[in-house]
Chain A
Amino acid sequence: MTQTNPPVEPAAFDPKLHELLQLPHKTLQRLAVSANGFVFDPATGQSYMCNETGLDILQRMQAAPMPEDFINNLLHDYAVSPRNLERDLLEFLGSLREHLGV
C-alpha cells in the first residue's frame, strides 16, 4: 500500500479490463458489504467473502460515480506494477461478475 506509481494511460490496459469495469451501478449499490469483507447480494441470496484488497476495490466501485482514474488511483495507492494490477483486476472483476450473474 501507499506506493506511488506513475500514471498509466488507460489505453495501455487490456480493453477487457475497461469492459469488465462497466458494471451497472445499481447492481453494485444493491450489495450489502460489511467492514470485514462479508458481501450479501439481496437479489440472488448469494453471500461471499472478500479479502482486504477486494473489499477496498469493491467499496471504491460502489462510490457514485466511479472515478475515471479508478485504475490509476489503485496504482497510486498500492505497491503493484501495472501488469500485476491488470491481471489481479481481471481476475477479481471476472469473479465478481460471475457472483453477480451479470
Chain B
Amino acid sequence: MPQHTVAVTGLNARPDNPGPGLAVVRCLREAAGFNGRIIGLSYDALDPGMYLENYCDAVYLLPYPSISSMEYLERLREIHAREQFSYLIPCLDVELPGFSRAQGILKELGIHTFIPTNEQLRMRNKDNLEQLGKLAGMQTPRTAVVTRWEFFQQCEKKHWRFPLVVKGIFYDAKIVDNPREAEEAFHAIAAQWGFPVIVQELIKGQEYNLTAVGDGRGHLYNPVMMKKLATTDKGKAWAGVSIEDETLLTASNKLAAELKWRGPLEVEVMRDTEGNYFLIEINPRFPAWIYLSVGTGGNLPMNLLQLMSDTAVATVAAQTGKLYIRYATETIASISQFESLVVDGGMAFDRRNI
C-alpha cells in the first residue's frame, strides 16, 4: 500500500468516556501494510493522545468543531498545508455534520473522507429512533424529545415510569429515578450539549453492540459484535467479549441496506430478560472499543482507509470469544510539549526509532 498520511480526530481518552481516536490510530499502526504518517487532531491540550509518541507523527489542536466557522476551516487548511494529509477520519459525533457539509472544500484541499451524508446523519439522529427501528425491524424504547424541564412534572401522568434515561443530543446519558433527578439531569445535559434533550424509557437487560463500515451502497464490511461485560459510571464499555448475534447482525444489515450507510457506524441494542431486542441508537463513527476489530482478526479502520483509497477490502469473519479489558495508565510528558501545544497549537514526534 502507498505511504498515506492520515489525520485522525478525537484523541481524548478520559477513562470514564474515552474518544475513539486513539483506538483508531492504534488499529492503523498495527495494520499489515500500513507504513504511513498519522496526524492527530484534538481539542484540548490535555488530551492524552497528544502526548503518546508511539501513536501519532504530529499532533495539532483544533478550535471546537463548527465547520461553518471560518476559524475551524482556516485551522484545518493551515495544518493541511504543513502536513499534506490526504485522508481524514473524524471520530466524534459532533464533528460529522460539519465535515459532511464541507465535502466540497475538503475535496478541493485533496482531503478524502468516507463519512455519512447529511441525510444519513439526520436519519440516525436520536430524535428519529422510532423510524430507525422500523427500518431495522426492531422495537425501540419509548422516546420523547424534550425542550422544557416541566415535562418531568407531568410525565408520570402520561404513563412514563421511572427509571428513565435522559440523553444529550450528541453525547451523555443519565439514568434518573424520580422527577427531581430528571430535572437535574435535564439542566446539566442541556447546559453541556444544548437542546433538545432526549428522554427514553430504560430497558433492563444486556447491551450488545456492532461496529462495521458501510460501503455507501448498502453493504456492511466486516461487522464486529460485542457484549459489554463491565461499564464505567457513564455506561461506557470497560470490558467486553466478541460475539455473533444473528438478530443484531440482521438488523444492522437492514439499516445499512435501507440507509445506504457510508462510513463507520456503531449499532447499539438492548436485549431484555424475555429475549426482546430494542434498538437504542446508531453512532456515525467508530466506537472507542474499535481495537476489538484487530483482536478478532480484522481491522476496520484499515478497511476504511482502503475504501477511501479505492483499494479492495478483504472480507474477514470476526472471531468470537475474544475479551477486551480497558485500563487507565499515565504517560509522562515534558512541560515544553505542553507549551508547544498551548502556544504553537501543535508538535511533531521523531518516530524514526520507534
Tell whether A35 is near chain B: CB-to-CB under 8 Å: no
> Is A40 interfacial (CB-CB < 8 Å)?
yes
For residue B243, CB closer than 8 A to chain A, the reply is yes
- Residues A43 and B321 in contact, CB atoms below 8 Å apart: no
State A101–B206 Cα separation when bound (angstroms).
12
Given A32-B321, A40-B321, A45 and B227 contact (CB-CB distance below 8 Å) = yes
How far is A40 from B323 in the complex, measured between Cα atoms in Å?
12
CB-CB contacts below 8 Å: B213-230 with A = 226-227, 229
Q: B206, B246, B320: which has the most chain A beta carbons within 10 Å?
A: B320
Cβ-based interface call for A81 (8 A): no
Bound-state CA distance A47–B239 (Å) is 14
Query: Once the chains bind, are A45 and B243 in contact (CB under 8 Å)?
Result: yes
Inter-chain contacts of A43 with B (CB < 8 A): 243-246
Partner of B226, one of A32, A45, A47, A101: A45
Closest to A32 in B: B321
Quick check: is A2 within 8 A (CB to CB) of the other chain? Answer: no
Nearest residue, chain A, Cβ from B245: A43
Contact B275 A42 (CB under 8 A): no
Residues of B within 8 A of A84 (CB): none
B208 within 8 A of A: yes
Contacts between chains A and B (CB distance < 8 A), count: 29
Q: CB-CB contacts of B194-238 with A at 8 A, as 1s and 0s?
A: 000000000000101000000000000000001101000000000
How far does the Cβ of B181 sit from chain A's closest Cβ, in whole Å? Answer: 30
Is A36 interfacial (CB-CB < 8 Å)?
no
- Cα-based distance from A46 to B226 in the complex (angstroms): 11
Tell me which of A32, A44, A101 contacts B227 (CB under 8 A): A44
Bound Cα distance A30, B81 (Å)? 53
Interface residue count on the B side (C-beta < 8 Å): 16
Q: How large is the interface on A (under 10, 10 to 19, 20 to 34, 35 or more residues)?
A: under 10
B277 to chain A, nearest CB (A): 11
Q: Is B13 an interface residue (CB 8 A)?
A: no
Q: Are A101 and B275 in contact (CB under 8 A)?
A: yes
* Distance, CA A47 to CA B227, complexed state (A): 11
Return the CB mask of A79-102 against B: 1 if under 8 Å, else 0. 000000000000000000000010
Nearest CB in chain B: distance from A71 CB, A: 28
Cα(A54)–Cα(B135), bound, Å? 42
With the chains together, A40 CA to B319 CA distance in Å? Answer: 13
Alpha-carbon gap, A34 to B244, bound state (A): 19
A101 to B246, CA, bound (A): 13
A42 touches B206 (CB 8 A): no
B115 vs chain A, min Cβ distance (A): 30
Taking CB atoms, residues of chain A closer than 8 Å to B271 are: 44
Residues of B within 8 A of A45 (CB): 206, 208, 226-227, 229, 240-241, 243
Measured CB to CB, the nearest residue on chain B to A41 is: B243
The complex places the Cα of A46 from the Cα of B229 at a distance, in Å, of 9
A44 vs chain B, min Cβ distance (A): 7
A44 near B321 (CB under 8 angstroms)? no
Report B304-348 residues with CB < 8 Å from chain A CB.
Answer: 320-321
* Contact, CB under 8 Å: B246 / A44: no
Chain B's closest residue to A102 (CB) is B275
Return chain A residues, CB-CB under 8 Å to B241: 40, 45, 47
A43 and B206 alpha carbons, distance in the complex (Å)? 12
Q: Which A residues lie within 8 Å of B240 (CB)? A: 45
A44 touches B320 (CB 8 A): no
Residues of B within 8 A of A44 (CB): 206, 227, 243, 245, 271
Nearest B residue (CB) for A101: B275
**A68–B108 CA distance with the chains assembled, in angstroms:** 71
Residues of A within 8 A of B (CB): 32, 40, 42-47, 101
If A45-B226, A45-B227 are given as contacts, then 13 extra A-B residue pairs at C-beta distance below 8 Å, sorted by A number, are A40-B241, A42-B242, A42-B243, A42-B244, A42-B320, A43-B243, A44-B206, A44-B227, A44-B243, A44-B271, A45-B240, A45-B241, A101-B275
- 10 smallest CB-CB distances across A and B, nearest first, come from A45-B227, A42-B320, A45-B243, A45-B241, A101-B275, A42-B243, A40-B321, A42-B244, A43-B245, A42-B321
